[in-house]
Structure 1
Amino acid sequence: MLALAVSVLLMPSLASAHAVIEKMTPAVGERMAKGPDRIELVFNEAIESKVGSLKVLDKRSKAVGSAEPVTSEDGRTLSLALPALEEGVYTVSYNVISADGHPVTGSYVFIVGDPPEAVDASNFNLHTQLGHEGHVMSTQLGGRDFILYAMRIAYYAALMLAAGLLLWSAIARKENQSLGRVRRKWELPVARTLLVVVLLFVFIQATEMMKGYPASEYAKLFGQTSVGRGWLLLIVLAAALFPVLKLGSAARAVWAVLILGVESWSGHAVVYSPKFVTVLLDFVHLAGAALWSGGLVLLLALWKFDRKEAGRFAEQFSQMALLSIAVMTVSGVAMTLFFLPSLDYLLYTPWGKMLIAKTALVVLVLIVGALLRFRVRKGQLPPLALLRVDLGLMALIIAIVGIFTYITPLPANEPILYHKMGEKQHLTLRISPNKPGADNTFILRVWLPQNVGPAKSVRMRMISLDRPDLGAIEVPLKPFVDEETSEFTGFIGDSLKAEGPFLPFAGKWQAEMRFITQNDDEIVERYEFRNY
């Protein structure tokens, strides 16, 4: 009896011995104009100084800085020095041991400046710029889009050929009579094809975009959006090619640079930051593709017209083709790293899978190019079979480019709506728009049986399944007047809500919901989801 009495008396003091955070700097959810120089966590009692961790993660869940956490002399304050932080949403994660050996873990977020919106499929949606709702830019390949895809392939083929021919006319060394005749024979038909294809391309794209909207919306499309203005410039440049063909090599090179620049500014690259770098990479990539495409077509045409001159031109082309492929490879890899948070995203959408297919084709191009260069350096004519294989590979690559420049590199984030009916409780979870780093709205509705009564307490935590080493992020739910709630016979409902960046980075997440009943029974529900 004496032992039992002593244990009962000691239980409250033992329970209160666990360390609890009294102050956090920055505070939970704090918005700061400038990043802090350090993180400080103050506990109500001393913690173990040599055990545990404190780290800060950026929007990609990567650790910020390399400093080690430091414990104060009294053992109650844990701090971590930080480098200069850019604008963004940051996650503080702590895992320490209190003096009694009890683990204390958790995570919270704070915000620096006015972070840019996280990039997902919605950022590529032109309807958003026009104020339209209910339209999502495609992330998939649909059969109904066949005509649109065919038109885009034709557009890219005409663009690469036209720009490539004009670039070659500016850089070709000692252009002989045969090469000049072949080039001039191709230039005018290519210019006509480009103008027709651009007009059809813009018409089909615009009508698809404006489907279901009045004609007045076309003025907004071409006057208020960067893509619409880019389409107008494409038409102007395609029409201007005819007089440019009568000018010298400098004017031809300027035209090629302008039309490739317009295409670069209208693509996926403009969505990412720093925009100047991504657009420049896209331009370099297109320029390399144009030089390779235009040079290959010239070589094939010259091979049929003058085999001897084809041999001479093949040596120059093989050098330029090698340089072009190298430039395309480097710029393509760099853009992919800019576009995708990780290389795993290559498997999430058709865009990534098509990029993998394109990469495989480029490897085959390198093999064919090496064989051609080997023949040329031995003084032999390039075999027609290899040239045809190279041309076929080029056509396949252009076809892939025409399609995957229309679909988005990233998946679309869909709002979370989870509903579960059960004997012990009903619940509904909503998370919208479910974008990492954004101020998402969290709504949790729970219904308990009437004989149990309303929940005594409700908690919800976000747990990163990609980073199990991180503590859970508490979502500060508060009751609100819910006009949409449903009623279930024999159940009593509660509605709770929170808003904030409690999903600080993309990945797989688990929403953990804990309900304490009036009888102090605990009900735990978990739901897994992901965002991009």
Structure 2
Amino acid sequence: MTAAVPRPSRVVAARSGAVAGLLLLLVALLLVPATPAAAHAVLVSSSPAASAVVPEAPAQVVITFSEGVRKVPGKVRVIAPDGSRADRGEPTFQGAEVTIPVDPAAGRGTYLVSYRVISADSHPVSGAFTYSVGAPSEPPTDSGSDNRANLVTENAVKVAKFAGYTGLLLLVGPALVLAALWPRRLSRRGPARLAWTGLGVLAAATIAEVWLQVPYVNGGGLFDVTGSGLSDVLGSAYGTTHLVRLGLLAAAAFLLRPLFAGPIGRTDGIILAVLGGAALFTWPLAGHAAASPAPAVSVVVDAVHLGGMAVWLGGLVMLTVFLLRRADERELDAILPIWSRWAALAVTALLLAGTVQGLIEVAGVQALFGTTYGRLLLAKIVLFALVIGVAAYSRALVRRRVAAGRPGSMRRAVVAELVITAVVLGVSATLVQTTPARTAAADVAGTEQGYFSTTLSSPIYSLEVQLDPAETGNNSIHLYAYTKDNRPQPVQEWKVTAALPSAGIEPITVPLLPLSDNHATGEVNLPARGDWQVRITVRTSDIDQATVTATVPIK
């Protein structure tokens, strides 16, 4: 059967559509705002500090993140001790710093600061902390704003990511094989249908990601989408890159149609390859890579990583579904060696890009094993090693020319590769939604690993104990004494020791410096991990004193 040759008018239309797509990409890239060099913002400091007791009510609360953040409307709030709103007016966002005006007449007691913001890589970040004016009280609750994540929405985002990866490989595989490896005698109808399906899945997943980004950043359900929320997403770098992807897919469709009908010219093939390469960059530009410490490197290696995956897995799908079933022995003898070289190049690109990517995102052995991101990356590496083993077996079959004589052996090996890599794609879809290990490991504001705070009671006083960073090495300790009615308790003498009985470490005396009548601070070196026993004796008069003990986990 002779393949139909595309008419000149169709070729002109295809090239015009492709050029329009490239122009759209250039314009959109000019409109994309620059993003700070970090990912998944974490709270690094606040004024007043978390758990601090200040003598006078501040006129504003300032919270500082590890990177620039954007506002989620109505999600940054300060709650007074009586449960009312203490914030006044809209918070001000200036890069990584958020300033919240506060009513200084809201009264004494403990205040709650809750926030939900959008980090530079488009992921929402939420949290809360307290501070007290005059003396601590029962912390209030923020009943008017729920900053917790919606699990249904978060899982839907992961499904959309997975669908996007799947659509990409189902599109790239048929397009690549039809352009370079497809036997002329075989019908192109089946691969063309598979490619159109991939294009449709990819476009639908892209639209779904834009839709889901609205409730994802706001913490709402799947259909909690408003016009203003959608407008905010479309106006962000995240929305722009997804619109660019849709435009590039539309432009590529003009050239895919003649490709699915028959061989296309060299110029059209180059334009199609450029469109495909440009589309690959929309994934890293909307995720962790664009906000990494080395964004230019991260974006490139992420695009190479994704392209290698699409070529390899897309080609495996074509081998399994079509070529190993329909091609004869002579055709397989010509196709399989070429495909084997392609697969080797794709795998090499995956390995090199993945290594660079891992070094940037993990940045340390401890983070590799001690964070969710690191453990997911380890799982991906193990699965990838299994796939490499199966792929090596497939290449051995090709070299021994067994595949042509026994295509069943080759088919089973390819199916095994696809099954394992399907799991790898699932892990990858979760990985891109997880805080990078380098950021998670550095998150010491408001986490158990980076800060310890507790309130201890005795018959004559209550004592707030703060230890920072609650890790091995040098630590700062702050002590605040209060009466039973939460007023500052004057202290005549402080005594503090720290011991680790499980490691045989005897009590270490902590030298203290009184900063006020009820506040003292000191420095202590804790040389080992474990549950340290911090013993504090406070004398409030010539005859009144009491001792309290805190168990402090040191990481």
- TM-score, length-normalised on structure 1? 0.58
Q: Secondary structure at the match of 1:455?
A: coil
Match of 1:244 in 2: 255
Match of 2:422 in 1: 395
Q: Secondary structure at the match of 2:436?
A: coil
Question: Any residues of structure 2 matched to 1:449-460 within 5 Å, and which?
Answer: 454-456=490-492
Of the structure 1 ranges 392-401 and 407-416, higher mean CA displacement relative to structure 2 is found in 407-416
Choose the corresponding residue for 2:394, options 372, 376, 389.
372
Match of 1:421 in 2: 457
Task: Report the CA distance shift for 1:239/1:131 in structure 2 as closer, same or farther (over 3 A).
Answer: closer
Corresponding position: 1:202 with 2:210: yes
Task: Report the CA distance shift for 1:139/1:183 in structure 2 as closer, same or farther (over 3 A).
Answer: farther
C-alpha displacement of 1:305: 2.0
Choose the corresponding residue for 1:193, options 194, 198, 201.
201
Match of 1:403, as an amino acid? T
Match of 1:208, as an amino acid? Y
Q: Is the 8 A contact 1:166 1:253 kept in 2?
A: no
Query: What is the rounded CA distance, in whole Å, between the counterparts of 1:202 and 1:154 in structure 2?
Result: 14
Deviations 1:109-137 (A, max 9, x none): xxxxxxx96589999x863569988479x
Match of 2:39 in 1: none
Corresponding position: 1:226 with 2:253: no
Match of 1:177, as an amino acid? R
Choose the corresponding residue for 1:153, options 148, 158, 162.
162
Choose the corresponding residue for 2:228, options 216, 235, 239.
216
Task: Report the CA distance shift for 1:324/1:132 in structure 2 as closer, same or farther (over 3 A).
Answer: closer
Choose the corresponding residue for 2:184, options 157, 177, 197.
177
Query: What is the rounded CA distance, in whole Å, between the counterparts of 2:459 and 2:368 in structure 1?
Result: 42
Match of 1:284 in 2: 304
C-alpha displacement of 1:367: 1.2
Question: Any residues of structure 2 matched to 1:266-345 within 5 Å, and which?
Answer: 266-300=286-320, 301-308=322-329, 309-345=331-367
Of the structure 1 ranges 146-155 and 267-276, higher mean CA displacement relative to structure 2 is found in 146-155
Q: Is the 8 A contact 2:531 2:552 kept in 1?
A: yes
Question: Any residues of structure 2 matched to 1:402-417 within 5 Å, and which?
Answer: 402-410=429-437, 411=440, 413=444, 414-415=446-447, 416-417=452-453
Query: What is the rounded CA distance, in whole Å, between the counterparts of 1:511 and 1:221 in structure 2?
Result: 50
Match of 1:209, as an amino acid? V
C-alpha displacement of 1:230: 1.9
Match of 2:19 in 1: none
Deviations 1:200-233 (A, max 9, x none): 332233343343675323222221x322222222
Match of 1:68 in 2: none
Identical residues among aligned pairs (%):
19
Query: What is the rounded CA distance, in whole Å, between the counterparts of 2:315 and 2:288 in structure 1?
Result: 26
Match of 1:446 in 2: 481
Task: Report the CA distance shift for 1:131/1:516 in structure 2 as closer, same or farther (over 3 A).
Answer: same
Q: Is the 8 A contact 1:139 1:350 kept in 2?
A: no
Query: What is the rounded CA distance, in whole Å, between the counterparts of 2:390 and 2:338 in structure 1?
Result: 16
Task: Report the CA distance shift for 1:513/1:396 in structure 2 as closer, same or farther (over 3 A).
Answer: same
Q: Is the 8 A contact 1:318 1:369 kept in 2?
A: no
Task: Report the CA distance shift for 1:201/1:343 in structure 2 as closer, same or farther (over 3 A).
Answer: same
Match of 2:339, as an amino acid? F
Q: Secondary structure at the match of 2:118?
A: helix
Match of 1:127 in 2: 118
Query: What is the rounded CA distance, in whole Å, between the counterparts of 2:554 and 2:186 in structure 1?
Result: 57
C-alpha displacement of 1:526: 6.0
Match of 2:134 in 1: none
Match of 1:200, as an amino acid? A
C-alpha displacement of 1:448: 7.3
Query: What is the rounded CA distance, in whole Å, between the counterparts of 1:522 and 1:529 in structure 2?
Result: 23
Q: Is the 8 A contact 1:420 1:426 kept in 2?
A: yes
Choose the corresponding residue for 1:162, options 158, 161, 171.
171
Q: Is the 8 A contact 2:531 2:554 kept in 1?
A: yes
Q: Secondary structure at the match of 1:445?
A: strand
Query: What is the rounded CA distance, in whole Å, between the counterparts of 1:462 and 1:324 in structure 2?
Result: 56
Deviations 1:331-364 (A, max 9, x none): 2233222222423334444433332222221111
Q: Is the 8 A contact 1:198 1:238 kept in 2?
A: no
Q: Is the 8 A contact 1:169 1:249 kept in 2?
A: no
Q: Is the 8 A contact 1:296 1:317 kept in 2?
A: no
Q: Secondary structure at the match of 1:177?
A: coil
Task: Report the CA distance shift for 1:475/1:234 in structure 2 as closer, same or farther (over 3 A).
Answer: farther
Corresponding position: 1:265 with 2:290: no
Where structure 1 has 5 or more consecutive residues not aligned to the other structure, the ranges are 1-115, 481-493
Q: Secondary structure at the match of 2:160?
A: helix
Q: Is the 8 A contact 2:117 2:126 kept in 1?
A: no
Q: Is the 8 A contact 1:346 1:352 kept in 2?
A: yes
Q: Is the 8 A contact 2:458 2:546 kept in 1?
A: no
Aligned length: 381
Match of 1:445, as an amino acid? Y
C-alpha displacement of 1:291: 1.5
Query: What is the rounded CA distance, in whole Å, between the counterparts of 1:477 and 1:240 in structure 2?
Result: 71
- TM-score, length-normalised on structure 2? 0.56
Task: Report the CA distance shift for 1:322/1:133 in structure 2 as closer, same or farther (over 3 A).
Answer: closer
Query: What is the rounded CA distance, in whole Å, between the counterparts of 2:510 and 2:68 in structure 1?
Result: 23
Query: What is the rounded CA distance, in whole Å, between the counterparts of 2:275 and 2:430 in structure 1?
Result: 25
Query: What is the rounded CA distance, in whole Å, between the counterparts of 2:537 and 2:291 in structure 1?
Result: 42
Q: Is the 8 A contact 2:167 2:200 kept in 1?
A: no
Deviations 1:218-254 (A, max 9, x none): 222221x322222222222233331132472111211
Q: Is the 8 A contact 2:68 2:119 kept in 1?
A: no
Task: Report the CA distance shift for 1:367/1:127 in structure 2 as closer, same or farther (over 3 A).
Answer: same
Query: What is the rounded CA distance, in whole Å, between the counterparts of 1:201 and 1:393 in structure 2?
Result: 25
Deviations 1:49-108 (A, max 9, x none): xxxxxxxxxxxxxxxxxxxxxxxxxxxxxxxxxxxxxxxxxxxxxxxxxxxxxxxxxxxx
